[in-house]
Structures are given as structure tokens and as C-alpha cells.
Structure 1
Amino acid sequence: MWLWRNPEIRKYGNIYVILALLAAAGAGFCFGVPAALYMAVLSIAGAVLFWCAAKKRYEALSALSQQLDQILHSQQALQFVPDEEGELALLSSEIQKLTLRLTEQAEEMQRDKEYLKDSIADISHQIRTPLTAIRLLLSRLQRREACDGKGIDMECIREIRSLLSRMEWQVSVLLKIARLESGTIVMEENEVSVARTVEKAWEPLVILADIKEIALRTDVPEHISFRGDESWTVEAVGNLLKNCAEHLQKGGCLWITAAENPLYTELTVADNGPGILPEELPHLFERFYRGNISGDESSGAGEHAGIGLALAQMIIRAQNGTIEAMNRPGGGAKFQIRFYKGVI
């Protein structure tokens, strides 16, 4: 009798009983007792059929409600698959689609949360390293000034300035990565000269190259170009050149070449440094990846090379391009960038 507790069933059941009694009474009044009995039997049969159909329908709704309750409280997947047609089957199908979509969104949000947690941990580690070094340098300055009174050590000042510049660069790169990932940046599609891009990307590294006596050799014809965003491409190529220059030993050499064909424009950056370990090649463009790449430790190359290469890859991919890292046959690292003229 649980079904009778349903207000809808009770309402229409009462109406049906009244109509059935009126029909039986009318048939008996007009045609006699046999007609009244016949009408009563038909009314009872109709009531039984209605009761069975309503019971089956509400049992299906109750089962669907229980499964939805399990999904809400235990994150269980929806298992109700209707094998009949009708409005109830359509309703359950739409609910299943909605549940699957919500489940996918919940999983994606969980992945984003884990990614954010890992990113914050990596960022804090990246920032904490130079901050700790600055704190130690300041303590050394204070002790030295208190002991001998000779004043401020300019070497420590230069180290602090270098560490602060490194922190500023890291924060700047992280902000650019965040803007690219959020989709707030729209790349321009202009004709970009590869020679001018290389020239602008190398300008900030002239002092570093002079200190480390790095020889730059370029073979970039003036007519080679591609469709893209010049300022962001300068950023990507600059990070790539910065990575190579920091890992080169004193007196190293850096080669930049460019070529063009009907399919793509290619820019190649190579050096004669220590190269890249084979097991690190698949992870080289991962954000915050810290491998065992050799190089000049005084430049701090190993501490933040990962985010620079990750940003370069994001910028190049956003312009219908690809970037690949490999080792030169004669020794050293080689980066190959291709900007395709069509969709790949």
C-alpha cells in the first residue's frame, strides 16, 4: 500500500473510484443488474491494470532516485540503462548524460587542483632557493661589517643583485605561462622576419656571451619569414638561446641557422656544449623539470631552465609550430623549431 501514500495516486484513484461507481450505477439503472455487474468488473480490471502500470513506473523512478542518491554520496557511477522506450527512458538517458558530464568536470577540477598544488609547491621551491641565498649573504655582510668595519662587500652585493634578477625572471615567466594557459593572449598573425627575431632575441644575452667568450655564428637569410607574433616569438627564441648560453662552457660556440620550404620555416639553434642526456630528452620541456644537464653552475642554469623551455614550447605551439630537442652528432645540444604554413 506504499503506492497509495503518493498524493498523485491517491487523488486520481479516488476520482477513478467515483467515476466507476457512477458508471456502474448508471448502467444498472438503464440496463439492469447484469449491466451494472459487467461495468463493475470492467472498472475493477481497469483499476488493477492502472495500479500495476503505476507501480512499475514508480518503482523505476524510485530505483533511479536511489542510484542518484548513491552517486551524490559515494561517487558511484550511474548503472541504470533503460531497455524500454518512453518518457521515463528518455529522462533516465538525459540524467545519465548529465551525470557523466558532471563526473568528468569533477575529475577535471580535481586534476586542476592537484596541478595547482604541485605548481605552487614548485614555485615556492624556485623562489625559496634565491631567498635563502640572499638571507645568508646578508648575514655574512652583517658579520663582516661588525667584525672588521670595512664596509659593504661589493661581491656580495653583486650576488644579491643577480639572485634578485633571477627571481624577477622566474616570476615574469610564470606569469606569462599563466596568461597563455588561461587563453587571455591572442597571438597576432603578421609576417615575421626570422633574422630580425634572432637579432632581438640575442640582444639581452650579449653581455653574458661576452663574459663567457661565446662565439655566435648565424646563417639566417633576410628573406626567410613566417606568419606569427614577433614579440612572443622573440620571447621563445630568447629563452632558448638563454638556455644554451647558460649551459655552454667558457669559450663555447653557438650556431643559429634558418631555412624555408613550401611546408614550413625552420630555425635551428645548436651549441658545442655537454649536450643532453638521452633519458632527459622526453622531459626537457616539462615545467620545473630539473635534470642533470651539465653546464656552468655559476650561472644558475640548472635551477630554472625548465620554465624557460616550457614557455618557449607553449609560444611556438600557439603559432602552429613545433620544437624538438636532440643531440648533435659531433657533441652538444640542438633545438629545431618549425613554423608550419598550414594546419598540422
Structure 2
Amino acid sequence: MKSSYERKKYIYSFVWIGFVSIVILAVWLYIAFGGNVLYTVISTVMIAAALVISGIVGYRRMDEVYSEVENISEKMVKVMDSPDVVTEEEFRQGTIGILYTNFYKMVSFLRESREKELSEKIFLRDIISDISHQLKTPLASLNIFVDMLLDDKVTDPDRKRQVLTEARNQLSRMEWMVLSLLKLARIEAGAIEFQKQSWNMEVICAQAADGVRYLTDKREQKVVIKCDSNIKLECDGDWLTEAIINLLKNASDYSENGTEIDLSVEQNDLFARIYVMDHGMGIPESELPNIFKRFYRVNQEVNPNSVGIGLSLTKSIVEGMGGRITVKSVLNEYTCFEITFVHI
């Protein structure tokens, strides 16, 4: 997009200022030379020629500057029309160079903003899709249970209690899934700021063990805590406790009744590491890359009321606090999750 407005304005201004200046200068020279017309004309012509040459040089320089500005303007239009087109950065010196640099910074910022907006839309779409998909089964089950009770199809008291118990399980499953998905969405969307402060890890481990006591006591399992009382970690204690609780629930689900679950913490000058280890069925090596995906379950027969989101939520919590979570497993021997926080 080019415009001749500034160029024409420059020419008009130069002609008028030059003409007035030449006239004034000619009068002054005429007086200075004592009325000698020849000397006055020659001097005036020479000065006018110099002024014209200066004007032409100035015009060309101005034209180059405006051409560069027009070039940037055209690139802006291309970026607006085709945001995905990557423009090749051009390097200039001086003020024009600064303008080019800021232009490419703006292009990079806009592209990153667009990619972030697109990723957020995809994430929101996936979350909504996941919630709607996962709610179909428990909602369908609840509808069947309610219809059976309303139509008096279940008359036996024991059978009726069984139906109500299963309905309560489905409601609990839906509540857990929705709350967990909302937490996961808030964390991954950056809506939660983890409040880091010094926490005693022995206290966090004890709180996490108490959080699953109802489950381990029912299965006659025992959580064995191995943590020195002086180990402290800069973290958000409440969220880290929830992450460990999810790992302990997972360990309880995939372990036999009457077994032990080890919860231990070690610390050195480089890092602090939390281990959650069960002695259950283990995980096949081919399944390990998938266990942190939403709604992924290794064994569908183990705890059918599980929604398969606890490990995904744990991973988001740990990584949100700057940590890293990994897993090791041997079939029919053990599964061990490791949470690592590197000291900064």
C-alpha cells in the first residue's frame, strides 16, 4: 500500500520555500554587489542549482524511508490476511531497523497469542467432550435404577438396597469425576496459583495416609511411611497432599487385600523425592506411556467405579509446582511412582 501524499507535500513545500529563499537571496546579492546584475544572476543561479541538487538528494532519501515504511505496511497486511505465513526477518540499521525489529516482535507475539488461544479452545473442547462422554454411562445407569424403583419392578428389600447402593456409587463416581475434571481444567488453564512455602513432609505424608484410611482399612491394607521428621519442601502442601492421595488410591486399587503400600521420602542437596510403591499386579511396560492420560485405565476389571483421572490430575499438580513424576513397574511384583522436586 503506497501513498504519494508525503512526497507531493515535500515537493510543494520545497518549491515554495526555495522560490521565496531565492528571491530574498537575489535581492540581497543585488544590494551586496552594488547593483551588478551579472554577478547577481550568476550567484543566484549557482545557489539555486545547489539548492535543487540538495532537494533531489533529500527527496530520494525521504523516498527510501517511506518505501521502507510501505514495505512494513505491506508485511502487516500479509500477516493479518495469512497469520500462519512466517515472514522472513529483515535487518536494517537506525530507526528503520528498530521499526523492523519491533514489527517482527509484534508478529511473534501475535502468533504465540493465536496459538495459545487455539490451544485453549482445543483444551476446552476436549474437556467438555470428555465430561459429556464420561457422564453418559452413569447417567444412563441412574435412569434405569430410578425407572425400576418408580415402576415397582424391584420388590425384594435386599434387591432394592442393592439398586440404591449402586445408584449411590454412580453418583459418587460422577461427583468425583466432575470435581477432578474441574480441578484439572483450572490447573492446565493456569487459573490456579500454587502457594509455595516450607512444608514438613512427614506431616504431608501423614495427611495423605489419613485421606485413604477408609479405603485401606476396608481392604486390610497398611500404608507404611518412611520419612525423616526434619525433611522440608517448598511446595503447596494442600495440593501435594491431594496428589499423593491419588497415588495411594491407585496403589490400593491395584494391590491385594492385606498388603502394604510404601510411602517414603528422601532428600539430598540436589533434590527431594517422594516414592509411592505397591506390591500388586504391576503394569505392562507397553502401558506405561499411557497411564497419565485422562480416563485411561490399565485394567477395566479393577475398581469399575474408577474414572481414570486421578493420575492425570496428579501429573498436572506435580508439574504445576515445578516437579516431575515418573513410574517404574514389574508385572506381578510392584509399581512405584516417583515425584521429584529439584532444589533451586
Q: Normalising by the residue count of structure 2, what TM-score does the alignment of the two structures yield?
A: 0.81
- Report the CA distance shift for 1:268/1:95 in structure 2 as closer, same or farther (over 3 A): closer
Q: For each residue in 1:124-152, what CA deviation from the matched residue of structure 2 results, as whole angstroms up to 9, or x when unmatched?
A: 22333322221222233334x0x576678
Corresponding letter in the other structure for 1:29: Y
2:244 matched residue in structure 1:
237
C-alpha distance in 2 between matches for 1:185 and 1:32: 82
2:168 to 161, 167, 174: 161
Counterpart contact for 2:290–2:296, Cα < 8 Å: no
Counterpart contact for 2:283–2:330, Cα < 8 Å: no
Counterpart contact for 1:252–1:272, Cα < 8 Å: no
1:294 matched residue in structure 2:
299
C-alpha distance in 1 between matches for 2:226 and 2:321: 20
Alignment map for 1:123-134 (pairs within 5 Å): 123-134=131-142
C-alpha distance in 2 between matches for 1:280 and 1:329: 11
Corresponding letter in the other structure for 1:86: G
Counterpart contact for 2:279–2:333, Cα < 8 Å: yes
C-alpha distance in 1 between matches for 2:246 and 2:324: 15
- Report the CA distance shift for 1:118/1:219 in structure 2 as closer, same or farther (over 3 A): closer
1:107 to 110, 115, 118: 115
Residue 47 of structure 1, CA deviation: 2.5
Counterpart contact for 1:214–1:253, Cα < 8 Å: yes
Asked whether 1:93 is paired with 2:101, we answer yes
RMSD: 3.1
Alignment map for 1:133-144 (pairs within 5 Å): 133-143=141-151
Alignment map for 1:236-275 (pairs within 5 Å): 236-249=243-256, 251=257, 253-263=259-269, 264-275=271-282
1:26 matched residue in structure 2:
27
Q: For each residue in 1:105-128, what CA deviation from the matched residue of structure 2 results, as whole angstroms up to 9, or x when unmatched?
A: 222221222122212212222333
Residue 238 of structure 1, CA deviation: 1.1
Asked whether 1:77 is paired with 2:82, we answer no
- Report the CA distance shift for 1:329/1:274 in structure 2 as closer, same or farther (over 3 A): closer
Counterpart contact for 1:252–1:271, Cα < 8 Å: no
C-alpha distance in 1 between matches for 2:250 and 2:108: 44
Corresponding letter in the other structure for 1:171: V
C-alpha distance in 2 between matches for 1:257 and 1:134: 37
Counterpart contact for 2:251–2:261, Cα < 8 Å: no
C-alpha distance in 2 between matches for 1:218 and 1:323: 20
Counterpart contact for 1:266–1:338, Cα < 8 Å: yes
- Report the CA distance shift for 1:150/1:278 in structure 2 as closer, same or farther (over 3 A): closer
Residue 153 of structure 1 aligns to a residue whose secondary structure is helix
Q: For structure 2, list consecutive stretches of 5 or more residues without a partner in the other structure.
A: 32-38
Counterpart contact for 2:22–2:48, Cα < 8 Å: yes
Counterpart contact for 1:246–1:295, Cα < 8 Å: no
Q: For structure 1, list consecutive stretches of 5 or more residues without a partner in the other structure.
A: none
Corresponding letter in the other structure for 1:220: K
Corresponding letter in the other structure for 1:77: V
2:36 matched residue in structure 1:
none
C-alpha distance in 2 between matches for 1:86 and 1:22: 37
Identical residues among aligned pairs (%): 22
C-alpha distance in 2 between matches for 1:148 and 1:80: 74
C-alpha distance in 1 between matches for 2:43 and 2:304: 106
Residue 338 of structure 1, CA deviation: 4.1
* Number of equivalences: 330
Name the stretch that deviates more: 71-80 or 313-322.
313-322
Residue 187 of structure 1, CA deviation: 3.0
C-alpha distance in 2 between matches for 1:27 and 1:71: 56
Corresponding letter in the other structure for 2:244: V
Q: For each residue in 1:133-180, what CA deviation from the matched residue of structure 2 results, as whole angstroms up to 9, or x when unmatched?
A: 21222233334x0x5766782211111111111121122223333444
Residue 333 of structure 1 aligns to a residue whose secondary structure is strand
1:9 matched residue in structure 2:
10
2:34 matched residue in structure 1:
none
Residue 65 of structure 1, CA deviation: 1.1
Name the stretch that deviates more: 308-317 or 107-116.
308-317
C-alpha distance in 2 between matches for 1:238 and 1:58: 65
Residue 337 of structure 1 aligns to a residue whose secondary structure is strand
Residue 13 of structure 1, CA deviation: 2.8
1:334 to 328, 336, 339: 336
C-alpha distance in 2 between matches for 1:332 and 1:324: 14
Counterpart contact for 1:28–1:34, Cα < 8 Å: no
